[in-house]
Amino acid sequence: MLTPPSEAAQAGLAQPLLAPQSVAIVGQSNDAAKTAGRPLKYLRQAGYGGRIYPINAHRETVLGERAWPSLAALPEAPDHVYIVTSTEAAVEAVEECGRLGVKIATVLADGFTEAGAAGLAHVARLRAVTAHSGLRIVGPSSLGVVNLRAKVMLTANAAFDEHPLPVGRIFAASHSGGMIGALLSRGAARGIAFAGLVSVGNEVDLSLGEICAATLADPAIAGYMLFLESLRHADALRAFALAAAQCDKPILAYKLGRSLEARDLAVSHTGALAGEDDVAEAFFTDCGIARVDTLDALIEGLPLLERVPMAKIAARLPRVGVVTTTAGGATMAVDPLAMRGVGIEPPSAETLARLAAAGIAVKPARLIDLTLAGTRYESMKAALDVLVTAPEFDLVLAVVGSSARFHSDLAVKPIIDCAGSAKPIAAYLVPDAPTALAALSQAGVPNFRTPEACADAIAAALRRRAPRLLAAPVQSAGSRKGTWLDELETYGLLDRLGIARAPAIAIEADVTHAPALPFPYPVAVKALAAGIAHKTDIGGVALGVFDQNGLLAAIRQIRANVAERRPGTAVDRVLVQPMVSGLGEVLIGYRVDCDVGPIVMVAVGGVFTEIYRDRSLRLAPVDLSIAHEMIAQVRGLATLGGYRGGPAGDLAALAQAIVALSRLAVMEGPTVLEAEINPLIVRPAPLGVVAVDALVKLIV
């Protein structure tokens, strides 16, 4: 996990995959209206220049061409074979591809990872082929591979049935086969065109990340558009993202699964496990992948992403300057921008003075509203000239009202005339204005159809960071088993990490006289046994014990409670600690996630953690600046920052504890699968933080 795919494995992949000299269609139908009839029709329609071998065991000809009876009967081993038969025949065809030395087989059929035991048996047969031959497989459940420049149309997607198709500089990869048709056609309607598109299917061999990585050397590809159903093969995706960042090729992703319901569907649809969405979000952030929430932003966002440089780390919230001829229309974009944490601030005094000097009368408000100045070329041009050189803005958004529909010379042309400025400009036209939009696209000005897609893409672009180079990779937990440490052992680990924790001593549970304690009463008393995750729920904790008699009573009560509520768990020892109080309670956690590997988390402690899902995650390890950023992301932690004039908690110490916990990812010694400090008491600065309970699970 998180290791880059072998370069040797990548070498030579791009050519047979995307620019094959020869292709075969196994199962090509004679009926071009059928799914299995489409590939040959599309290849001919597009004018593919390589050799095409339609294979149909039951016919002499298909669609008027010679049909071959089998792969074995061909005069050569084709570079790339698209198998459009049903499942069982597809497995046999893959096996034949392996025997014949075919380089790539793309498989349309379903009935594999999502199809229970029978499906997994099919998968095993495919894997046996790739293990023992040079064959690489795309799919199964792949609607195909398309290279529009080379006219390679190995697809059965119904939306590709037109000619000519526009050729562009974007490479699209999708878990959903249907979506390659949606991206192609919706893009075409907006002047957004593709170099290639691939439906990666269930990725039993080649993963989405590997396929995209194989195209990175292609200078004709400027950026990547990903449609993800879940976060699978995150290691390859991460390796691709890092390499793409080095080539300065942006990646824009849409991922299903914000809701539990959608994650459920991903499971039943593909058989993949769907991890929590904010884990995926953290992964994208740390990989420099911009993520959008709307389909339109996915389709329209790359031109903007290409123009917005990746930040190393956000020193402050990104800020957008908005100039408009329609305040109401512009506010439609401001609302979703602000909800996404992008600042819409008034211009600086200096910028206002420069606007005034340019003859633009505006109020010192969050919008540069040209209503008073009038919808004229000169006003918009002068305002843009000032804004693109105003240092307080990271990006300028121009919103044009009704004039854009028939009079683009007034307020759209000035945007086009500023297209060359160093600062990114985005445009949103409030009316339906296809001509003006096309002119903006032609001039290279990123533009958006809806205020929501506009805000979504701007926020994604401004939030994107350079990918972090993580320290030594750690293997994913997968399904490996773990073993719990008891609390005292856990504290030993915290001591190694340098995370302050409450003093603790263990006492035999059958004592008849309370021993002297190395700290004063009142104390907390807890059952001490590995694997009791929710001690409180089974009566395993007594708090605020005031004296020796109380201590003995507490021990008796804890033993009785646990015996009753968790029969079979013996409480031989208890842990005694001083009571610790502070300004608030925080949960910090670490785990080796099954998708993305080691992650670290900070969240509000207590009962609301689960209800509000108010937490921040990152790939581990993190440094102090990222830890502070995580703290700032958790809304509930605002109460610890000197809320309403109250004392401020020691957030510096909290950040240090997050960093320390995240170092489990690179620590020598036994591999920690999971660690949770809950609660970590945050005291007023500079008194630090103190762990008062913790759980750790080691790999077996």
Contacting residue, 119, 275, 321, 401, with a copy of itself by CB under 8 A: 401
Distance CA 260, CA 262 (A): 5
Contacting residue, 31, 88, 350, 432, with a copy of itself by CB under 8 A: 432
Distances (CA, A) of 361 to 351, 369, 374: 12, 9, 10
Nearest residue to 428 via CA among 413, 444, 446: 446
Distance CA 503, CA 258 (A): 41
* Site track 355-384 with a copy of itself (rule: CB under 8 A), x = hit: --------x-xxx-x-xx--x---------
Contacting residue, 28, 45, 113, 157, with a copy of itself by CB under 8 A: 157
Least distance CB 428 / a copy of itself (angstroms): 10
Contacts of residue 269, Cβ cutoff 8 Å, sequence gap at least 6 = 114, 229
Distance CA 107, CA 102 (A): 13
Contacting residue, 473, 636, 642, 684, with a copy of itself by CB under 8 A: 636
Least distance CB 259 / a copy of itself (angstroms): 4
Contacting residue, 407, 517, 563, 667, with a copy of itself by CB under 8 A: 407
- When asked if residue 296 is in the footprint of a copy of itself (CB under 8 A), the reply is yes
Q: How many CB atoms lie within 10 A of CB 529?
A: 21
Contacts of residue 451, Cβ cutoff 8 Å, sequence gap at least 6 = 329, 332, 333, 335, 336, 428
- When asked if residue 643 is in the footprint of a copy of itself (CB under 8 A), the reply is yes
* Site track 241-280 with a copy of itself (rule: CB under 8 A), x = hit: ---------------xxxxxxx-xxx-xx-----------
Nearest residue to 528 via CA among 471, 480, 568, 486: 486
Residue type, 60: E
Nearest residue to 637 via CA among 697, 566, 584: 584
Give residues 449-478 in contact with a copy of itself (rule: CB under 8 A).
450-452
* Site track 14-43 with a copy of itself (rule: CB under 8 A), x = hit: -------------------x-x--------
Least distance CB 187 / a copy of itself (angstroms): 8
Contacting residue, 29, 85, 403, 609, with a copy of itself by CB under 8 A: 403
- When asked if residue 600 is in the footprint of a copy of itself (CB under 8 A), the reply is no
Contacting residue, 19, 188, 667, 699, with a copy of itself by CB under 8 A: 188
For 650-691, the DSSP string reads -HHHHHHHHHHHHGGGG-SSSPEEEEEEEEEEEPBTTS-EEE
Contacts of residue 643, Cβ cutoff 8 Å, sequence gap at least 6 = none
Contacting residue, 51, 125, 149, 186, with a copy of itself by CB under 8 A: 186
- When asked if residue 66 is in the footprint of a copy of itself (CB under 8 A), the reply is no
Least distance CB 414 / a copy of itself (angstroms): 16
Least distance CB 495 / a copy of itself (angstroms): 31
- When asked if residue 593 is in the footprint of a copy of itself (CB under 8 A), the reply is no
Q: Which residues partner with 527 through β-bridges?
A: 574
For 378-442, the DSSP string reads HHHHHHHHHHTT-TT-SEEEEEE-THHHH-HHHHTHHHHHTTT-SS-EEEEESS--HHHHHHHHH
For 507-571, the DSSP string reads EETT-SSPPP-SSPSSEEEEEE-TT-TTGGGGT-EEEEE-SHHHHHHHHHHHHHHHHHHSTT---
Least distance CB 124 / a copy of itself (angstroms): 22
Contacting residue, 11, 638, 648, 700, with a copy of itself by CB under 8 A: 638
Contacts of residue 30, Cβ cutoff 8 Å, sequence gap at least 6 = 37, 56, 59, 61, 62, 63
Query: Residues in contact with a copy of itself, total (CB under 8 A)?
Result: 89
Q: Which residues partner with 66 through β-bridges?
A: 61
- When asked if residue 642 is in the footprint of a copy of itself (CB under 8 A), the reply is no
Backbone region of residue 41 per phi and psi (left: phi > 0; alpha: psi in -120 to 50; beta: other values): alpha
Nearer to a copy of itself, 132 or 635 (CB): 635
Q: Where are the beta strands (DSSP E) in 229-311?
A: 251-255, 290-292
- When asked if residue 608 is in the footprint of a copy of itself (CB under 8 A), the reply is yes
Nearest residue to 620 via CA among 647, 643, 589, 648: 589
Residue whose pair of structure tokens reads 């390499």 in the numeric block = 243
Nearer to a copy of itself, 303 or 336 (CB): 336
> Rounded to a whole number, what is the distance in angstroms from the first to the last CA of the chain?
19
Q: Which among 170-178, 241-249, 308-316, 544-552 is the span making contact with a copy of itself, rule CB under 8 A? A: 170-178
Contacting residue, 4, 50, 191, 431, with a copy of itself by CB under 8 A: 431
- When asked if residue 185 is in the footprint of a copy of itself (CB under 8 A), the reply is yes
Q: Which among 182-190, 348-356, 413-421, 506-514 is the span making contact with a copy of itself, rule CB under 8 A? A: 182-190
Nearer to a copy of itself, 460 or 673 (CB): 460
Give residues 518-577 in contact with a copy of itself (rule: CB under 8 A).
537
Least distance CB 573 / a copy of itself (angstroms): 27
- When asked if residue 328 is in the footprint of a copy of itself (CB under 8 A), the reply is yes
Residue type, 247: C
- When asked if residue 316 is in the footprint of a copy of itself (CB under 8 A), the reply is no
Least distance CB 429 / a copy of itself (angstroms): 9
Edge-to-edge strands of the sheet including 104-107?
Answer: 51-55, 22-26, 80-83, 104-107, 136-138
- When asked if residue 178 is in the footprint of a copy of itself (CB under 8 A), the reply is yes
- When asked if residue 442 is in the footprint of a copy of itself (CB under 8 A), the reply is no
